[in-house]
Amino acid sequence: MKTEEQIEKRLFDMAGEFRAACYGKKWIIAKRLYDKALTLCTELDMPEDVKKKLFGTRPYEADPADAKDGAFEEDLVIRMLEQCIRNEEERIEEEKKRKAYLQHKRFYAKK
């Protein structure tokens, strides 16, 4: 079993991999890394200071100037999520076009 320090190191390594995936526009890989790190922190009940170092602090009700980025930078996380949504919307649209084409093709093949 890994020690807490080993797990913490791996989580920070994942943040670096996340950053590289975002800069390489590998959005799905970035999303998996982010989700996995978030899940591990939650499931392993990591200390609050580790969570703050990884994900930053977002005092939305308080002064927004107090917000601090963590290893998973908020701007990159937002961009990654937007790109994943955009890619999924494009995939759905392409699937609709493909289905419409196949229905059209089947309809005229019967005649």
The rounded radius of gyration (Å) of the Cα atoms in the chain is 20
* Residue 22 structure tokens: 């975002």
pTM (global) more than 0.85: no
pLDDT of the chain, 111 residues: tens digit per residue: 678 899 999 999 999 999 999 999 999 999 999 999 999 999 999 999 999 999 988 766 666 667 788 999 999 999 999 999 999 999 999 999 999 888 887 777 765
Would you kindly state where each structural domain of the chain is located, as residue ranges? 4-110
